[in-house]
Amino acid sequence: MATSKNLKEKIIIIAENEEHLANEISSQLNKHGFVDVRIADDGSKVYEILRPFYNDIEQVGLVVINEELPQCQVMEMCLTFNNDSSVIPFIILHSTETFSSQAEGSNLKSKGLLHYMPLPINYSEFLAIIHFQLIIKHDYFLRHKQEERLINELAERKVVDAKMKYLVDHDELTSLLNRQNFERKVRLILNRSNQLHQNGTLLFIDVDRFCLVNELEGFEVGDRLLVTIVSIIRKLMAKSDLFARIGSDEFCLFIKNKTTDEVRQFAEKIRKAVYEYRFCTGDICYSISISIGISGLSMPTVVYHPNELISRSRHACNMAKENGRNLVWEYNDQDSSVRERRRDIYWVPLIKKALLKDGFFLVFQPIVNLFSGEVSHYEVLIRMRGEENEIISPVEFVPVAERMGLIHSIDLWVVETAIEFLAKLPADKTNISLSINLSSVAFQDTSLLPTIKEKLELTWIDARRITFEITETAAVDNFEKTRDMITKIRALGCKFALDDFGAGFCSYNYLKTFPVDYVKIDAQFIRNLTNNPTDQILVNSMTELATKLGKKTIAEYIDTPEAIEKLREIGVNFGQGYIFGKPEMHLLPSEHVVIADLMQKKIAKQRLSECD
């Protein structure tokens, strides 16, 4: 609430053409503390005094005006200065009890903004009216400010609400449709298309190597690049096309009423326009390219959901990237990669279920000393039980597990289960050792070493009874990390075997670099060993090299007695193959395979052939 002092600092205008009366009123006001009293002797001077305060009418307190003031329409002036945006109280001095304009100003009077005072003036009443009207004016001012503030707040809220509503459906950076809004609109189109057999095509657009711009120039420049690319594409598209940003640098453009050739030409036009544009920031100009995947509604299989259409076009876009980027690629459900994706979708839930519900089990294949006939140790292999309790080979599920990030869980399961198997063997089987066949990425998993160490400590199993097999592929993926992991696991006492030796170009280098105990000669040199002199020379060379380096050799996929004989001649230490035993859930009943018996079978077979 305004104080009396504040109210008396307001401007008081005395509009009176009789100088004596004007001075008398001014003197009374000054006497009672009003500090800014101004006199006008005609209507024009009233306007002249008020003119500087049109934008700050709050500085003016009130106007005391004679009804007979020259050059003035009193009521018109009252109405002019009392409206929605301004309030100035008026005290109208008149010489008679009846005032002709009272009816016209009745609304202002009812609000306390207009008061009629007869002459001569009763100053006691006059000062009370002035005080009352100044309070009324101040209250109106406060109310107006509050209303103005509320109106501004409501306006701001409406702007914010409108912006929020807009952002619910649009991307803030590019003003394109966002994914949810895009999918909603495409879903409606799909419903109509499936009913009316209309055509439509989705372009999935991805900026090639966009992350490099973000890393080198910062996110602000990256955002500017995206806005530029959107602007280029907008100039080429039709108004009826649906354009959306669905990821950081991923866009979807749905177009209608174009043939397959027209769509491809249009996509190529977009690709070329972006590629020819030079994006400059500072002194550096970048040549930008995009990869575009195309998927249409004219496919043999009906599309019911936008996600399916987006997934197809994204896959086509990924194919464009894999084949060199800056390409347009059309989706084909007969592509090997598409079939692979479907395979992944089928197998992933089965693999997860097998991990949770004990759907995996181990089988063991003997590795035999070719000279003593004894089973040296067993290779551990994994199998999976299917929905119908059928046995599923790792060839089916391991590649999927590797692609989908599930392989490390499988590797750890194999390690833990194999060590537990050894721990549960009876006391007379403590001489049995296992060779654990892990995936090509197992040695990139940092949790492998702690798992092995923990299981050995918990079970008290002699680490020398465990051999891990590593392939050349695993070594190539991360040479230093793999070698470091092998060294640490060997420090626990475990052994290592270099699997598929001779299959790669760098096998001899890995044999020199990795501290392994066994070398497993690749099956391609063993299958036709007895009939192929070249294979014999190579196997002999590998065996001689491994022996001189202090490694034992193991030949895989042995299936004939003749192969056993030839391998013994060459000097290979151990053999593995169906002739000794297939992978089984249980160990062989006997720990010995008598090589002599196999040779006797060979001799008997030869004699039978001679008799024939």
Q: Which region holds residue 405: left if phi is over 0, alpha if psi is between -120 and 50, else beta? A: left
Instruction: List the one residue out of 90, 47, 51 whose CA is nearest residue 72.
Output: 47
| The residue type at 126 | F
Higher per-residue confidence, 327 vs 501: 327
Confidence of residue 79 (pLDDT cuts 50, 70, 90): confident
Q: Report how far residue 603's alpha carbon sits from residue 608's, in angstroms, rounded to the nearest whole number.
A: 9
Place of tokens 């249009």: 266
How far is Cα of residue 597 from the mean position of the Cα atoms in its chain?
A: 64
Per-residue model confidence (pLDDT) at position 504? 60
Q: Report how far residue 239's alpha carbon sits from residue 257's, in angstroms, rounded to the nearest whole number.
A: 13
Residue 381, pLDDT > 50, answer: yes
Q: Which of 155-159, 343-347, 548-552 shows the highest mean pLDDT? A: 548-552
Report the largest interatomic distance among the alpha carbons of the chain, rounded to a whole angstrom. Answer: 160
The reported pTM is 0.60
Instruction: List the one residue out of 60, 119, 70 whose CA is nearest residue 90.
Output: 60
SS3 481: helix
Rg of the chain's alpha carbons, rounded to an integer? 47
Strands 114-118 and 90-94: parallel
Per-residue model confidence (pLDDT) at position 253? 94
Contact 398, 409 (CB under 8 A): no
Contact 57, 87 (CB under 8 A): yes
Per-residue model confidence (pLDDT) at position 4? 66
Q: Report how far residue 69's alpha carbon sits from residue 43's, in angstroms, rounded to the nearest whole number.
A: 7
For residue 576, give the DSSP letter.
-
Per-residue model confidence (pLDDT) at position 81? 79
Residue 406, pLDDT > 50, answer: yes
| φ/ψ (deg, to 5) at 286 | -105, 140
Per-residue model confidence (pLDDT) at position 597? 57
Q: Report how far residue 104's alpha carbon sits from residue 101's, in angstroms, rounded to the nearest whole number.
A: 5
Confidence of residue 410 (pLDDT cuts 50, 70, 90): very high
Per-residue model confidence (pLDDT) at position 606? 52
DSSP secondary structure, 89-111, as one string: -EEEEESSS--TTTTTTHHHHHT
Residue 479, pLDDT > 60, answer: yes
**Over pLDDT 90: what percentage of the chain?**
30
Place of tokens 């039978």: 608
Mean pLDDT of 18-23: 89
Confidence of residue 476 (pLDDT cuts 50, 70, 90): low
Q: Report how far residue 568's alpha carbon sits from residue 323's, in angstroms, rounded to the nearest whole number.
A: 48
Contact 416, 455 (CB under 8 A): yes
Per-residue model confidence (pLDDT) at position 97? 53
Confidence of residue 3 (pLDDT cuts 50, 70, 90): low
- What residue ranges define each of the domains in the chain, with the CATH number in brackets? 4-147 (3.40.50.2300), 179-333 (3.30.70.270), 352-611 (3.20.20.450)
Joined together, the tokens standing for residue 2 give 């305004």
Q: Report how far residue 21's alpha carbon sits from residue 453's, in angstroms, rounded to the nearest whole number.
A: 111
Per-residue model confidence (pLDDT) at position 98? 47
Can you list the alpha helix ranges (DSSP code H) found in 170-199? 179-196
Residue 5, pLDDT > 70, answer: no
Per-residue model confidence (pLDDT) at position 566? 92
Residue pLDDT, tens place only, 114-131 = 888 888 888 888 888 888
Burial class of residue 274 (count of CB atoms within 10 Å of its CB; 0-12, 13-18, 19+): buried
Q: Report how far residue 305's alpha carbon sits from residue 341's, in angstroms, rounded to the nearest whole number.
A: 18
Per-residue model confidence (pLDDT) at position 592? 44
Per-residue model confidence (pLDDT) at position 605? 54
Buried b (16+ CB within 10 A) or exposed e, 538-549: bbeebbebbeee
Contact 277, 255 (CB under 8 A): no
Confidence of residue 198 (pLDDT cuts 50, 70, 90): low
Per-residue model confidence (pLDDT) at position 292? 95
Mean pLDDT of 488-511: 79
Per-residue model confidence (pLDDT) at position 162? 67
Residue 610, pLDDT > 60, answer: no
Q: What is the mean pLDDT of the chain?
A: 84
Residue 48, pLDDT > 60, answer: yes
How far is Cα of residue 98 from the mean position of the Cα atoms in its chain?
A: 82
Helices (H) and strands (E) in the chain, counts: 21, 21
Upstream peptide bond of 450 is cis (omega within 30 degrees of 0)? no
Residue 511, pLDDT > 70, answer: yes
| φ/ψ (deg, to 5) at 420 | -65, -35
Strands 574-575 and 552-555: parallel
Mean pLDDT of 459-466: 93
How far is Cα of residue 333 from the mean position of the Cα atoms in its chain?
A: 26
Mean pLDDT of 370-391: 90
Q: Residue 272's CB: how many other CB atoms inside 10 A?
A: 13
According to DSSP, the residues that pair with 142 across neighbouring strands are: none
Residue pLDDT, tens place only, 530-540 = 899 999 999 99
Residue 240, pLDDT > 60, answer: yes
Q: Report how far residue 459's alpha carbon sits from residue 418's, in angstroms, rounded to the nearest whole number.
A: 11
